[in-house]
Structure 1
Amino acid sequence: MSKVKNRIVTSKYNKYTFFPLNAYHQWSKPSNMFFLLTLVLLAIPQISPFNPYTYLLAFCLVTGTSMIKDGVEDYRKHKQDDIINHKRSNIVEFSDGSFSLREINVEDLEVGNFVVIEDSTDIPADVIILRSKIMSKRGYVCKDFCYIDSSNLDGESNLKKKTAHYDVKCDKTRKNNDDIFKMFPICDCDKFFIQNVHSSQVIDTGDLFTKFDCRLKVKDEIVLCNEKNALLKGMKLKNTKSALAYVVAVGRDTKMGKSNVTTRKGHSLFEGEVSKLVYVIFMLYFLLLFVSSILGSLFLRKSTIEYLYLDKYLSSDALKQTGTNYILFSYLIPLSLFVTLEVSRMFHSAYVSNDSSLRKNGVSSVCNNSNVTEDLGMVEFLLCDKTGTLTKNNMVFKNVHISGQNRLEIQYTCLRKKYNQLFKERLEEDIKTMFIVALLCCNGVDFVNNSYEGVSQDEISILEGFRLNGIRLLEREEKFVILDVYGERVVVDIELTLDFTSSRQRMSMVVKIGDVYYLFTKGSDSKLLGKKHIKMPESQSTILYKLIEENSKYRTLIVGYKEMDNETVRIFKERFANITLENRYQQEEDIFNEYERDLVYLGTTFIEDELENEVESTLVALKNAGIRVWMITGDKKETAMSCAIDCGIIDSVDDTRVLIVEGDQFDNVDDDITRFESVVVYRATPHMKGKIAKKFRELKRNTLAVGDGNNDVPMLQTANIGVGILGKEGNQAGLCGDFAIPGFYCLRRLILVHGRYNFIRFSKVTLNAFYKNIYLITIQFLYGFYTGFSGKPVYNNYFLNYYNVFFTSLVPATIALFDKDIPEDEAFSKPTKYKRVRGYFSKKILALGTLYAIFEGSLVFFLVTGVFFIKDLVSYNGKLGGYSAMDNLFSIVVFSSVLLKQIRLVSFVTVYTHIAIVLSIVLCFVSLFLFQDTDFQGSMWILTSIPSFYFLFMMLFLVNYIIDIVLSKLFIMFLNLM
């Protein structure tokens, strides 16, 4: 079995596979496959009505444009991959009694390497930390821990502490005069690991970054390592001079490789609607082909007409005619539409990135998935997170409630020093001090470079509040914490810890203070109150519930404790040590659940999370635009309701148009969830957020999800459109979303302006593409009744081949790129206009457009053929126009009426619009005048020399123009009624 490479590959192709693979991908698309088959039939002389080379050029231009686009995007990915793969990494090797340090590319790392990671550099693979060097007053000191920034993986921007599982006493730093070791001084402990760590086995724990199990063989001993000892690929070493680590997984075997957290590149809802329309057009196409084949065969069977050059068998001629009509009617399918849409999406994504109104503090918005830019114009439901999305995630420690009191206290008043003697008596006799010590110990915060670093903003805000009152966490190690309480230093031994999880919603820790063991538990009120965890008198419970309800806008944390005897702690630790790797996390929770009973209530913290700027105005505008807002949060009901009212999501809890439901009860809601104006889902887990988004996708309702943290990623990746906010919880939501914005307020402009413009642009271009082709083929089909459906084209050969690619595609391209139906300020300030956007692309509009194209094509056909059959056009020298004059006239009339229609679709004229119009006219007439079939050379010059031609052309042009104006007015009236 070949070794797994540590190379990151996000590109699809290389220089050898690009052309064959991309050509396969291009030609495997149903539309391109159809065009390829048409090209093959054109190459058969007995079937083709004209030379295949012009169609070949058109086909190559369309597929070539797509290939160039794919090539450019893939080349960029190659460059991005190379930047990462060619980063340098240092590995330490030991042979013949001496060390050597070798610099290699990250892509060349292998399992079993000892890698040296420097400060502020990315972790190159999944590794187990062995030792580190930390700066101290005595210089660099060898430690068994390091600090990492994991925001690129889990969205949490605060530093985390990782510790080495296997501790070795470090005696001294070994002297080494080699310059390569100046950046990493070698210690005795480093030598021990390099010589004695032999192998590793990573246990599969899925793609969750919070779970990691590994067996490490040190000497002859198997050491069990977990997520606390693992540095994962994508993390970054911080506040640590360097770290020595052992590589246990590389490449696709890493957590990052398994998670595959890149934004999905799915198809948009709009593209799905276009695909349905294409299928309808295909049905129409095959209907026309079937009818023409039947009528053509019947025409051949007429015994009253003498035919020239018929085959012996009529079926052979009928088959040839069918093949010819297959080619002619293939122009019903818009060859250039798909390329126009793809290229336009690239520009639309660039518009988002370069929009100065979508920037905040120098951070620009980003479009990660250009495939959904037009779906922003048809959003029906908005699913949003609360903390960090609607609120600033800037926690402020406001109030506390201490056991035995009947009111709240402001935190600085409560924490003011009132006692001169602390810890002189039994700690449990002083509830307030016990409350302070429990909060100082029971958290995941480290004190790094004179600042607090941790996952939870709530915990950091509490410790910052303590620090302002002379209460500090000085140092945290795996086995102890050092506290400074009103100037008195206290060392607390840590026996066992179970960190906070979203399912448990609490954290517990067994500590030893002096000779006494305590179990501290801190968590949400829904998990600790009323569930046999916290015990308190009923009167105290009533007061606490009332205080929580009256201060529902605050986030609350309940703190409890109980004293434990030596024997209980011994059994507890023994059971915990005997946990197996299989289902380890559930076993840990089950054991702690048994001991987290009958805790003594100490107090409650009340923390305020301020609203983001312009949240209320943004949500009100989106609601006025007809978008229904769902707030999905892990907070308790009261906090969620208070935030929803403050944001303008709901007016009151009594509104019958509003649904308020707990996350666990969402599946039990029998009502049609789409009928509610607003919904608040509280106590929702990350899995539930994704489940709700999936429900909307199943209902085929266009849903936009917005969030800022790792817990929002399932929702962002499941919704039709995911928008990640680049905030305090890191960049993971931004990486996983289709869009990344620096603030919630950007959502208003993203939807009401960019979404509106993109959807209307694509609607106009798509409808026009099908209109002009149906118009074109209607005339060709009707002409078949005069030619026995022999496959004789009614248009100029070159005109027919370049009709879609050049002559009628340039103006639509400018519409797709630059068109604006109303000014930006009006679209932004009048959100009610967004409601009408969907009317531009509906089944009724499509049906009306199809009927209009058939009517216009029929009218033009009968007017032109009426003139030619009653009295042909005659030149000044007596020559009849005949077939060549008719096919050129049809070509000019169709082009002119289509171009006129396209010009009328333009709402925002730019210099590119003028260029496109002029270029379309020049290309068309150059083609008609200079490129003709051999038998009809100069026929266009003859046609333009006939005076009656101008009268006929102007008559047809005016008729088309008047009908177009009348029907456009009726269309606008119909749109207003809708």
Structure 2
Amino acid sequence: MLAYLNDFCIRIGWRRPPFPDQRIIPLGPISKASFVCKPYSLVELYDKNESITHAYTWYNFLPKNLFNQAQRVANFYFIALIILNLFSELSPVSPYASIMPFLFVVSLSAFKAGYEDYKRKCADNAINNVPVQVVDLMGNLKTIKSMEITVGDIVFCRANDTFPCDMLLLSSSEESGECFVTTASLDGETNLKQFRSITVTSDLESPESFRKLAGKIVCEQPISDFYKFNGQIYIEYDSMDNVNEMKTYKHILPLSKDNLLLRGARLRNTTYVYGCAIYTGLDTKMSKNSQEKRQKFSRVEDTLNLVLIFIIGLLFILSMSYTIASFAVRASIVNHWYIFVPNETPWRNVDQFFGAVILFNYLIPISLYVTVEFIKAFSTILFRLDAELYDERIDQPAIANTSDVVEEMGQIEYIFSDKTGTLTENCMNFRCFAVASGSYKTHGNKIFFDRPPKIKSSESLETILPDDSMSDEGQEETADLSSDRLALFLHLSLCHTVRVELPAPGEDHLGDDIDLKEASIRSRRGSVTKLTPKRKFSSLRRASAADSASKVFRRLSSRSPTNEKMANIDYDYQASSPDEKAFVVACKKLGVVYHGTDHKGIHIITIGGREAVRYRSLDVLEFDSDRKCMSVILQPAPTKYDSVGSSYCVPSLPVIVLCKGAETSILNKLSKSARRVQAEEIYDDQLVQAIFGRQSKHPTRDYVERKVSHFAEQGLRTLVMAARLLSSDEWQQLQTKLNMARGSLKNREQVLSAAYLQIESELTLLGCTGIEDQLQDGVAETITNLRKAGINFWILTGDKEETAVNISYSAGHFYREMKEVRITNVKDIKNCAKVLQNALDLMEKENSAEFGVVIDGGALGFCLKVALRHMLLALVTKATTVLCCRLTPLQKAEVVRLIKYSRKHDPPVTAAIGDGANDVSMIMEAHVGFGLFGKEGQQAVQAADFAFGRFRFLQRVILVHGHMIYNRITTTMKYFFYKNTVFTLCSVLYGSFCQYSTQTFFTQGYLAAYNVSMTSLPIMIFGIFEKHRSATALQDFPHLYRSISRNAGLRIVDIVCWLILGIWHAIIIFFGCYSLTLKGNESEAISQIFGFGTVVVCCVFTIVTTKLILIARYQNILFHLFILITIFLNAIIFIIVDRVHFPFTFLSPQEFFGVWTQLFTTPSAGLTYFGILIICFVALLPDFILRVYRDQSWTLNLSELIASRQKELAHIRLLKKLKSKTKILKLKSHRKKTAKNVQETIQEEEPSTDQSKIM
């Protein structure tokens, strides 16, 4: 029976069948049409290609939402109370008085949750309904919805398209079958990545050619690791039988991660690709690194539940005491003949207890939740309307996807941030470099000496630029291009994998911002497209660039004059690394232009528009994190060798190895002696002469180390450049070893590393460079202020370690006084444990020092094991800040989860901020998720709780909106407990005068109106607009945020103080009104039960409303207007009820008729008015004193804060002044010692060019 039920659930799509060990996928339309999959079809076995971020469906909304609401203690309590109210014989109030408000609250909350989830569903539909094209059985392109893609479909994607599923690359517009992709939305890296198609299918260039494709793909079941994929492809089998059976295949090829295009990645610099859908929907690697959308509950709400449990406990204790007192009184009056005493039974006492619970249930504010929901909803509206959060660049205001956790923004202890697109603009600028002749800065097409500016005698100290200024003002420009600078620029122009294109006519370069919605204009669903781009047109832009390069070389080689247009060709450089693009673009501005490759694949460089040189690329050694460098192997390409291939090594010509990387890598590979060129016919080559010629100059290792440190102190990304000269025979020997290593099946990585090391050794040092990775505006200030607010700021990125560390320093996340502890490149769990223990010992030894911890993804995988988790937690909690690099999206979420549950008692509130799909997991895992409107889709914005345009807005979001909203909501909660305590305790005190029966002296109208019309509107306006501190003060003094941290607004001490205040007010009100009855006539209304209750209600309303005015610091017109509206509304209601006799006893009991007239229009009304005034004054006197005291305290604190801020600013100005003065004195002293020209001044800093000193 269970098996049948399980199968039924699978058939209707409620459950998924178990996966087989391997995934077998038909390849090609014919194979898919004949594919037999048992016992379940492909659609049943593998998931639909559907994006799901919404939490509800039409069939589970009601039960799921009611279940979520039932988790609130108050809701569960009122359900039980309603049941008791229906069956209790001694219930003092009508059941409808409890049922109707409860249904209203639940319905309103359900409507809000449904509306917010509906918006998420609409966003999902926008993605799922994007049109995509697949090859049908007839060999045509058919347009379907993205959600209709199934495993085995041949999918066609164009340039700038986002891949709709994980698919195997079969062919592309490139003849080589390669394509280029950006994966910024997956791993945060914006550089182009190269993927290769299967060699057998790379020549298929049209839908018709795929019609005859037949075979199958056997691969592993989906895993979350982006960088792992294994499988085999079987092509062209002999029989047309079941594809699932093993046949004889003509081609059996292995598959790797280089063949798999991932969902969420975007096609770049390639006109089109064809791919076979491998993983779809929830099986894609992007979905495996994401989490299901879940309902979030704020920490404030959790605390509220605990407070409600506490108050319910007090309610039960009070009801039990009331029941015991009632039993004792009944036992003492049993002999009074005029009092009816029912028979005493055990149930009688139980019923008495539940009657007391129902009578005093107003101690639990039923309208609290709905009021807080309204406050949250309106707070999100104010959040969206905040002009300070409006991003003018993209015309985008801030948005709020939910209001459930809006108050959590005021409780954040940890912020986890992505790097790429979140902290940075990802815009690289080549700022400075150092060679043998000195250190230089670049700006546009100019080069400046990197030295202090000239000082005029009339200049004051304040006008001198500080040492770390990157300004070019006052710097002396140099026009000549010495051999060492030329060598560096040629190195930068050739040591890369940049592709050159000519911009298409009319191209606006807006491809990065293409939205998924634009794809809907291509074609209608179900249409068939026969006109597809052909491969012969796909490389037109690169072919045009190749033609241009060849033309430039021919003209310069023939000494023909080049016109200005030819010398300033507007190339479009496409790089796999933003650093490489920055180098090539900067060198072009400085006169060394890389024109790309000609039709023969030979690289062409022009120097100053006067000379052209060519080089043949023999090999490229790609960058990896272990070597921390990359190399390009070149050979000069004279025209007399044009007949040989582009990658052929000419035996008679030397080979040049150009290498660049981190200083820790390059400086350890330097040669101890220089090597000169021996080939006479190559002496005229510019690169060889500049680096290895007799007149070449090279910096020392010590000099480069100093300059690297100097550049790094300015927050620049540093690289060191070096080169090596080989003979053709030496290269061929090394190349043989390299090819053998690449084909090795055993210990391939170790063998390949050894081969790389042999090539990248005996290097000649050329210099170093500094690149500025431009941060967004206000990043450093924002991080600093968040730290002052007591918030721990971590960076979690998928980027490389060196890049992440440099950005951390630039952003102020790390600073120079901080000591680094790196948990990276660990080999196994034992090594990881040892590194962790060493780090903990170091922190324990230097307890006063500040530490920044760097952890990479590999080490984190070991650290998150159960055996090492406690050590990792101890390390990161002791550290000042943490940087995690090379993380997968799932690892980001695991880091957030680690901190989220790091404390059993009082766990920290976490927040995550990012802009791409790779950040969705941590955004959803954190208590509060922030999304940024970025260039890589809207996944982060859709998954986030709040979204805005710039990182710097985070400061205002947390310090202003978070602080204010938290204060409003917590104050509202405490006020609710206070006002209900006042109202309920009056009934408790009345019980002592009516022998502790469940009799109430409030009418049904008062009971229903107190929490609805009498006290709901003013507190709601207070909760929406209250500003206990100005926005300027909250931003200028971030440490004010600490005053509300760790849920300080709902501490038990504060809540008890509010309850004590409510008890005080209730005692003064009740006995004050009771004293009025002693002075009046027994026939007067005040001496009667409902007249007395009416006076009590008037006092309660006046006092709790005045109390609200006293705690409100932002008393705007709207706040006072709603108080007046409340007064007049209730006055009109009670006057109507007093004058009109309704047939409904619930609305107007007979005893209430005419009570107001008797109370406030009779001759004794003056005594009533005066008595109410005295009662209110006595009750509120402590509140007036407390308000005055707090105002005076804040004024004094504000004065101290302003004085402290002024001292801090004065100290900063003094340090800058002293630094500038020291700089001037050093420069003047230097100029006194030498009376030579500017060049002699620079020579003091120049390094020795003695090659024996190069280490």
Give the alignment of 1:399-548 within 5 angstroms. Answer: 399-400=432-433, 405=436, 408=439, 435-436=491-492, 439-441=495-497, 449=503, 450-454=571-575, 456-468=577-589, 469-472=591-594, 474=596, 483-486=603-606, 487-494=612-619, 500=624, 514=649, 522-526=660-664, 528=665, 540-548=700-708
- 1:519-538 CA-to-partner distances (Å, cap 9, x unmatched) read 87654345x268x7667689
Partners of 2:1116 and 2:172 lie apart in 1 by 61
Question: Residue in 2 aligned with 1:244?
Answer: 274
Partners of 2:968 and 2:129 lie apart in 1 by 42
Amino acid at match of 2:50: R
Equivalent residues of 1:266, 1:371 under 8 A apart: yes
Equivalent residues of 1:281, 1:333 under 8 A apart: yes
- 1:897-954 CA-to-partner distances (Å, cap 9, x unmatched) read 2222223333334554345324433554455453646452415344445524434333
Equivalent residues of 1:363, 1:742 under 8 A apart: yes
Shift of 1:651: 8.1
Matched, 1:328 2:359: yes
Partners of 1:588 and 1:914 lie apart in 2 by 77
Shift of 1:37: 0.9
Question: Residue in 2 aligned with 1:139?
Answer: none
Shift of 1:58: 0.6
Question: Residue in 2 aligned with 1:857?
Answer: 1066
Q: 2:234 aligns with which of 217, 231, 234?
A: 217
- 1:665-693 CA-to-partner distances (Å, cap 9, x unmatched) read 999899998899xx465786646997489
Q: Secondary structure at the match of 2:255?
A: strand
Partners of 2:396 and 2:719 lie apart in 1 by 34
- 1:864-883 CA-to-partner distances (Å, cap 9, x unmatched) read 234446756633xxx67422
Q: Secondary structure at the match of 1:458?
A: helix
Equivalent residues of 1:160, 1:446 under 8 A apart: no
The change in CA–CA distance for 1:697 and 1:368 in structure 2 (over 3 A counts) is farther
The change in CA–CA distance for 1:773 and 1:622 in structure 2 (over 3 A counts) is same
Question: Residue in 2 aligned with 1:178?
Answer: none
Amino acid at match of 1:965: F
Shift of 1:968: 2.9
Shift of 1:65: 0.9
Equivalent residues of 2:363, 2:981 under 8 A apart: yes
Q: 1:845 aligns with which of 1021, 1043, 1054?
A: 1054
Matched, 1:661 2:876: no
- 1:356-405 CA-to-partner distances (Å, cap 9, x unmatched) read 22233134334455444333335556666777666654322234456xx4
Question: Residue in 2 aligned with 1:698?
Answer: 902
Amino acid at match of 1:803: Y
Partners of 2:1181 and 2:803 lie apart in 1 by 63
Partners of 2:718 and 2:134 lie apart in 1 by 48
Equivalent residues of 1:85, 1:105 under 8 A apart: yes
Partners of 2:502 and 2:1004 lie apart in 1 by 76
Q: How many residues align?
A: 921
Shift of 1:200: 4.7
Shift of 1:69: 0.3
The change in CA–CA distance for 1:760 and 1:543 in structure 2 (over 3 A counts) is same
Question: Residue in 2 aligned with 1:969?
Answer: 1188
Question: Residue in 2 aligned with 1:54?
Answer: 97
Give the alignment of 1:59-208 within 5 angstroms. Answer: 59-94=102-137, 98-133=138-173, 144-157=177-190, 159-168=192-201, 170=203, 186=207, 188=209, 190-192=210-212, 195-206=213-224, 208=225
Equivalent residues of 1:170, 1:187 under 8 A apart: no
Q: Secondary structure at the match of 2:351?
A: helix
Shift of 1:250: 1.5
The change in CA–CA distance for 1:88 and 1:488 in structure 2 (over 3 A counts) is same
Question: Residue in 1 aligned with 2:770?
Answer: 606
Partners of 2:401 and 2:89 lie apart in 1 by 49
Amino acid at match of 1:354: L
The change in CA–CA distance for 1:114 and 1:693 in structure 2 (over 3 A counts) is closer
Question: Residue in 2 aligned with 1:356?
Answer: 387
The change in CA–CA distance for 1:883 and 1:235 in structure 2 (over 3 A counts) is same
Matched, 1:337 2:368: yes
The change in CA–CA distance for 1:213 and 1:275 in structure 2 (over 3 A counts) is farther
Give aligned-pair identity as a percent. 22
Shift of 1:67: 0.9
Amino acid at match of 1:859: I
Gaps of 5+ in 2: 1-16, 18-43, 237-248, 448-477, 504-570, 607-611, 635-646, 675-698, 821-845, 864-869, 1138-1145, 1198-1255
Partners of 2:784 and 2:930 lie apart in 1 by 19
Partners of 2:295 and 2:629 lie apart in 1 by 37
The change in CA–CA distance for 1:446 and 1:256 in structure 2 (over 3 A counts) is farther
Question: Residue in 2 aligned with 1:278?
Answer: 308
Question: Residue in 1 aligned with 2:718?
Answer: 556
Equivalent residues of 1:10, 1:77 under 8 A apart: yes
Q: 1:769 aligns with which of 947, 961, 976?
A: 976
Amino acid at match of 1:246: C
Partners of 1:85 and 1:566 lie apart in 2 by 53
Q: Secondary structure at the match of 1:15?
A: coil
Equivalent residues of 1:122, 1:233 under 8 A apart: yes
Partners of 2:479 and 2:750 lie apart in 1 by 35
Question: Residue in 1 aligned with 2:63?
Answer: 20
Shift of 1:12: 2.7
The change in CA–CA distance for 1:626 and 1:749 in structure 2 (over 3 A counts) is same
Partners of 1:669 and 1:398 lie apart in 2 by 38
Partners of 2:803 and 2:120 lie apart in 1 by 43
The change in CA–CA distance for 1:675 and 1:440 in structure 2 (over 3 A counts) is closer
Matched, 1:397 2:430: yes
Q: 1:298 aligns with which of 328, 336, 345?
A: 328
Matched, 1:318 2:349: yes
Amino acid at match of 2:69: Q
- The more displaced of 125-134 and 856-865 is 125-134
The change in CA–CA distance for 1:330 and 1:691 in structure 2 (over 3 A counts) is same
Amino acid at match of 1:761: R
Give the alignment of 1:777-792 within 5 angstroms. Answer: 777-792=984-999
Q: 2:1123 aligns with which of 899, 913, 917?
A: 917
Amino acid at match of 2:718: T
- 1:726-754 CA-to-partner distances (Å, cap 9, x unmatched) read 56788776666554443343233223332
RMSD: 4.6
The change in CA–CA distance for 1:224 and 1:977 in structure 2 (over 3 A counts) is farther
Give the alignment of 1:374-389 within 5 angstroms. Answer: 374-379=407-412
Matched, 1:44 2:74: no
- 1:495-525 CA-to-partner distances (Å, cap 9, x unmatched) read 7x65545x87555788966269998765434
Q: Secondary structure at the match of 1:892?
A: helix
The change in CA–CA distance for 1:120 and 1:393 in structure 2 (over 3 A counts) is closer
Q: 2:1103 aligns with which of 868, 885, 897?
A: 897
Amino acid at match of 1:459: E
Partners of 1:384 and 1:202 lie apart in 2 by 33
Amino acid at match of 1:956: I
Gaps of 5+ in 1: 135-141, 174-184, 421-429, 581-586
Q: Secondary structure at the match of 1:698?
A: coil
Equivalent residues of 1:211, 1:227 under 8 A apart: yes
The change in CA–CA distance for 1:128 and 1:964 in structure 2 (over 3 A counts) is same
Q: Secondary structure at the match of 1:60?
A: helix
Shift of 1:19: 2.7
Shift of 1:108: 2.0
Partners of 1:800 and 1:16 lie apart in 2 by 38
